[in-house]
Structure 1
Amino acid sequence: MREEAPHILAVDDDARLRNLLRRFLMENGFRVSVAADAAAARAQLQSLVFDLIVLDVMMPGENGVDLTRALREESQVPILLLTAMGESSDRIAGLESGADDYLTKPFEPRELVLRIRTILRRVSRPALLPVPAEPVGEITFGEFRFDPVRNMLWRGEEPVRLTESEGALLAVFAAAPGTVFSREDLAEGEGEAPDGGGNVRTVDVQITRLRRKIEPDPKFPRFLQTVRGRGYVLRPDS
């Protein structure tokens, strides 16, 4: 197997499924490591770098959603959650915790591979509107200032870490403050998602994550606002 093949960490307390995941993913060109629970996954993450984590939600001890939320405090490694729970509220909870996608058991193994490859393509390039060719200067809002050229955000003098996609998203808004962008506009350029409409939901997840970093109260956004029925708008300081 080529050394540059993406390295996947599969985390599931079911030994049978864990081994099936390893075998199937390796057959499809991935390097694969496995872990039986959150503690074992953390140990692996301390010594190895992974391109993506396939993570079971219902595990004894620390569950997959809690582990995802904790990992998002220190890492932006893509995470695909696996769960036997198919309710939309469960899916939303998983995405809000910071997961990139959510697949309900039982699933078709080929769909798992398709979703993994879709996520890896998405994180390898910002799937958002291109920033205009004309240079855009720094923009300020509240305690924050954002430099779209350097893709850097500061809160006062402290840098705030952004993922590539978060920086690209904020750069789109910074290029046209006060302009309402629809979810479809912001998702433009993404490949087709396996379940259809997934690109638009990805935008919603990215907006939620960005609000957690720039809003005093993300539930009542002051800067990155929702315009009902139209989309999102950045309203910086006057």
Structure 2
Amino acid sequence: MDKNVKILVVDDEERIRRLLKMYLERESYLIDEAENGDLALTMALENNYDLILLDLMMPGKDGIQVCRELREKKATPLIMLTAKGEEGNRVQGFEVGTDDYIVKPFSPREVVLRIKALLRRSSQTSYLETSSAAKDLVVFPHLVIDNDAHRVTANGTDVNLTPKEYELLLYLAKTPDKVFDREILLRDVWHYDFFGDLRTVDTHVKRLREKLNSVSEEAASMIVTVWGVGYKFEVRTN
């Protein structure tokens, strides 16, 4: 299943790149390397990677800047590598569109498992053209979520979402009209407790609405803010 998966490994330390490359090539992944953020951004924009492993602290553009600029053009799944004591930066990473993070020093086996988990969730690698009926569809007026294919269409047009944006939309849509507070969304969608860093949720909701609104105002309007509480998915019949 993982044949021909192409991954970009970005770290300014050659020994870390070499270690990651060795373990990932054992899984038959194709590996490219970048030693700084500027080169990484150029490579990420010019190539269609299935996943990017991105160090947070680097000379030149850091991981936050690379992720922010990449997210303006692409939804490539992205895992941030961070050192202990950089929790504030990790929160910022989620806000700009990081899908997961791994803390250094890390176990290479953990990295492989995290990559496999994200690839399974990723619309970049999970979508397969098929003429058979999808088994797991969430269907509303103006919006269809094909969970087998990790594909979202609004008014018949594909919406290119990051894995985390997709998970957030699916989570809300599976329980229409139920209000979720930000803490619950952080726990269930991100699987981390940030103890009050709720901007992550707001940023992702904002980005999700913008992407939906670019093809369907009706679909975007179904994500409703409940002031002072959180968000809900509201199905409108008219």
Q: For this structure pair, what is the TM-score category when the shorter chain's length is used for normalisation?
A: 0.5 to 0.7
Report the CA distance between 1:6 and its aligned residue: 1.2
Matched, 1:209 2:208: no
Report the CA distance between 1:3 and its aligned residue: 9.0
Deviation string for 1:75-130 (max 9, x for gaps)? 0000100111434322211111211111111001100111111100111459xxx6
Query: Aligned AA for 1:103?
Result: I
Q: Please state whether the residue corresponding to 2:4 is helix, strand or coil.
A: coil
Tell me the equivalent position of 1:218: none
- Matched-pair contact (CA < 8 Å) for 1:81–1:103: yes
Matched, 1:92 2:91: yes
Report the CA distance between 1:70 and its aligned residue: 0.9
- Matched-pair contact (CA < 8 Å) for 1:152–1:167: no
Report the CA distance between 1:46 and its aligned residue: 4.1
Tell me the equivalent position of 1:136: 140
Instruction: State the alpha-carbon separation in 2 of the partners of residues 5 and 206 from structure 1.
Output: 33
Deviates more, 1:49-58 or 1:162-171: 162-171
Tell me the equivalent position of 1:53: 52
- Matched-pair contact (CA < 8 Å) for 1:9–1:32: yes
Report the CA distance between 1:169 and its aligned residue: 5.0
| Structure 1 gap ranges (5+) | 139-146, 188-195, 216-221
Deviates more, 1:18-27 or 1:99-108: 18-27
Q: Please state whether the residue corresponding to 1:178 is helix, strand or coil.
A: coil
Structure 1 segment 35-50 matched on structure 2, within 5 A: 35-50=34-49
Q: Please state whether the residue corresponding to 1:83 is helix, strand or coil.
A: strand
Tell me the equivalent position of 1:141: none
Q: Please state whether the residue corresponding to 1:148 is helix, strand or coil.
A: strand
Tell me the equivalent position of 2:22: 23
Instruction: State the alpha-carbon separation in 1 of the partners of residues 13 and 140 from structure 2.
Output: 51
Query: Aligned AA for 1:67?
Result: V
Call closer, same or farther: CA 1:227–1:171 in 2, change over 3 Å: farther
Q: Please state whether the residue corresponding to 2:43 is helix, strand or coil.
A: helix
Instruction: State the alpha-carbon separation in 2 of the partners of residues 58 and 5 from structure 1.
Output: 29
Question: What's the C-alpha RMSD, in Å, of the aligned pairs?
Answer: 3.9
- Matched-pair contact (CA < 8 Å) for 2:45–2:74: no
Report the CA distance between 1:25 and its aligned residue: 1.1
Call closer, same or farther: CA 1:171–1:121 in 2, change over 3 Å: closer
Deviation string for 1:192-238 (max 9, x for gaps)? xxxx9775459x867742323437xxxxxx9234774xx74135789
Report the CA distance between 1:36 and its aligned residue: 0.7
Q: Please state whether the residue corresponding to 1:86 is helix, strand or coil.
A: coil
Report the CA distance between 1:21 and its aligned residue: 1.5
Deviation string for 1:130-176 (max 9, x for gaps)? 655xx5323xxxxxxxx33794458xxxx894417546754675676
- Matched-pair contact (CA < 8 Å) for 2:83–2:103: yes
Instruction: State the alpha-carbon separation in 2 of the partners of residues 137 and 3 from structure 1.
Output: 35
Query: Aligned AA for 1:223?
Result: V
- Matched-pair contact (CA < 8 Å) for 2:171–2:189: no
Q: Please state whether the residue corresponding to 2:7 is helix, strand or coil.
A: strand
Tell me the equivalent position of 2:224: 223
Call closer, same or farther: CA 1:79–1:15 in 2, change over 3 Å: same
- Matched-pair contact (CA < 8 Å) for 1:6–1:51: yes
Q: Please state whether the residue corresponding to 2:122 is helix, strand or coil.
A: helix
Q: Please state whether the residue corresponding to 1:9 is helix, strand or coil.
A: strand
Call closer, same or farther: CA 1:206–1:65 in 2, change over 3 Å: same
Q: How many residues in Structure 1 have an aligned counterpart in Structure 2?
A: 203
Report the CA distance between 1:22 and its aligned residue: 1.3
Percent sequence identity over aligned pairs? 34
